[in-house]
Structure 1
Amino acid sequence: MIGAILVVYNPDLALTERLLTRLYGQTEEVIIIDNSPKPHSFKKVIEHYTYLHFPENIGIAAAHNAGLIHLLKLGCEYAILLDQDSLIPTDMVFNLSSLLKASKTMKQDIVAIGPRIHCSFSDKNVRSLVQREVFDYEQLVGVTQIIASGMMIDLSAIDEVGLKDESLFIDGVDHEWCWRARSMGLSIARAKQVEMLHRLGDSRSKFIGVTYKVGAPIRLYYQFRNILLLSRRPYVPTYWKVRCLFFMPIRLFLNSVMQTNKRKRLVYMVRGIWDGLLGRSGAYNKHWHH
């Protein structure tokens, strides 16, 4: 049995309904976790689903965990995680679950698999410049991490790997779980022939010919803080630590000088760096007032 976990936050209803229409019938269970202040109904496009509403916004990690625990109680074998900015093909769940099942017979310890990501902003397939491929086997390529949306998890691995790290709240949650699994000798894979459309970031900007992602100011707090928190952990890849720490001053400059809301962005980044250095985690409003 396969269950889907869709996390939404102030969703674009047209986009979310389009995703649910594609998802309908692909899984036996659908859990919608809503971190928005006001509740939403999706009955227009999907009849049977479990709806969990957290108006105080518990973050992506806690939302995933609520869904994963629910699916484990229902006896599901696999869970597919999705967010509102993705659009999946109508056979994605079948294809990913088939590859996970096949990997079991080949005695490969693959605990999570994701599709190739096609970014709707750049209209290009997302490729990491530094992430090395761990293994290459027919339909699968082993990788160090995959993003949460489109990630299918073998739920039997939760006992060993554990749930998502709620202390991170949002940014880096998906990667941290993958790295933790890999530090235990387990594998993460990407399907070569399965592609998903996904929007990365809120918008794009260019500086001296280089395009970079622009997110909401509050996200900068979590991004900067979580880089500093994760950089202390031994199982986090060295290349990731070096790259993120190297680009931190550049991102600080771009987001405080080249964007609108300069002061607001700078405040969030400085607070993120401060809390990261102090080792503070959890939700922003635990430590600061908006």
Structure 2
Amino acid sequence: MIGAVLVVYKPDLPLVERLLTRLYGQTEEVVIVDNSPTPHDFSKIITHYHYIHLSSNSGIASAHNAGLIYLLEAGCEYAILLDQDSLIPSDMVFNLSSLLKASNKMKQNVVAIGPRIRCSFSDKKVNPKVQKEVFEYDELVGVTQIIASGMMIDLSALDEIGLKDESLFIDGVDHEWCWRARSMGFDIAKAKNIEMIHRLGDSRSKFVGITYKVGAPIRLYYQFRNILLLSRRAYVPNYWKVRCLFFMPIRFFLNSVMQKNRRKRFGFMLKGIYDGLIGRKGPYDKHWK
């Protein structure tokens, strides 16, 4: 049995409807985890679903974990994680689960598999410039990490790997789980021929001909803090540590000089760096009022 976990925050209902229309009939269970302050009713979009309202917004990791625990208790073998910024093919769940089941029969240790991503901003496939493919087998390519949306997980492995790291709150949560799984001998893979459209970031900006992602100011706090937190962990890939730490001053400059809300962004980045250096974890509101 396969279940889906859809995490929303102050949901854009047309986007949610578009996704759930594509998801309809692909899974036996659908869990909608809502991190919004006020609850939402999705019964006009979907009739059979389980709703979890986390009004305090305890983060994406906490929302994923709540959904995954529900699916485990419901008897699901696999779970697919989604967010409202994704548009999935009408056969994606079946195709991903088929590949995951086939890999297990072939005694491959693949614990999570995701589609190739096409960015909705550029309408281009997202091809990592630094991340190298670990292995290639028929329709699968082994990678070091995949994003959360579109990630299908073999739930039987959670006993050994564990759930998502709630102390990170949001940024880096999906990658950290993949790296942790790989450090325990599991494999993470992408499907060569399955594609999903996904929005990465809120908008795009250019500087000296280079296009970069722009997100909400508060996200800068988590991005800068979590880079410093994750860089201390031995199982996190060195290429990621070097790249993120190298580009941190550049990102600091771009967000404090080249964007709107410069003062606000500057403050969030400084707080993120401070908390990352002293090892503070969890939600921003826990440490800053």
Same fold (TM over 0.5): yes
Deviation per residue, 1:47-106 (Å, 9 max, x gap) = 000000111101000000000111111110000000010010000000000000000111
Cα displacement string for residues 142-179 of structure 1 (whole angstroms, at most 9, x for unaligned residues): 00000000000000010010000000000000000000
Query: How do residues 8-87 of structure 1 correspond to structure 2 at under 5 angstroms?
Result: 8-87=8-87
> What's the secondary structure of 1:30's corresponding residue?
strand
TM-score calculated relative to the size of structure 1 = 0.99
Hey, what does 1:135 align to over in structure 2?
135
Deviation at 1:18, TM superposition (A): 0.5
Matched, 1:160 2:160: yes
Q: In structure 1, how many angstroms separate the alpha carbons of the residues matched to 2:57 and 2:206?
A: 32
Question: In the TM superposition, what is the alpha-carbon distance from 1:122 to its structure 2 partner?
Answer: 1.0
Per-residue deviation, 1:17: 0.6
The aligned amino acid for 1:204 is R
Structure 1 counterpart of 2:217, one-letter code: P
Question: Hey, which bits of structure 1, 4+ residues long, moved more than 3 A?
Answer: none
- Matched letter for residue 125 of structure 2: N
1:6 Cα deviation after fit = 0.2
C-alpha distance in 1, partners of 2:128/2:232?
Answer: 22
TM-score in terms of structure 2 length: 1.00
Partner in structure 1 of residue 263 of structure 2: 263
In structure 2, what is the Cα distance between the partners aligned to 1:174 and 1:108?
21
Consecutive unaligned residues in structure 2, runs of 5 or more:
none
Letter in 2 for 1:74: A
Structure 1, unaligned runs of 5 or more:
none
Per the alignment, residue 194 of structure 1 pairs with 194
User: What's the secondary structure of 2:205's corresponding residue?
Assistant: strand
Paired amino acid for 1:79: A
Q: Paired residue for 1:208? A: 208
SS of residue paired to 2:235: coil
Number of corresponding residues: 289
Could you tell me which residue of structure 2 aligns to residue 149 of structure 1? 149
- Which residue of 2 is the match for residue 180 of structure 1? 180
- The alignment partner of 1:175 has SS state of helix
Computed over aligned residues only, the root mean square deviation of the Cα atoms, in angstroms, reads 0.4
Distance 1:237 1:35 in 2: 30
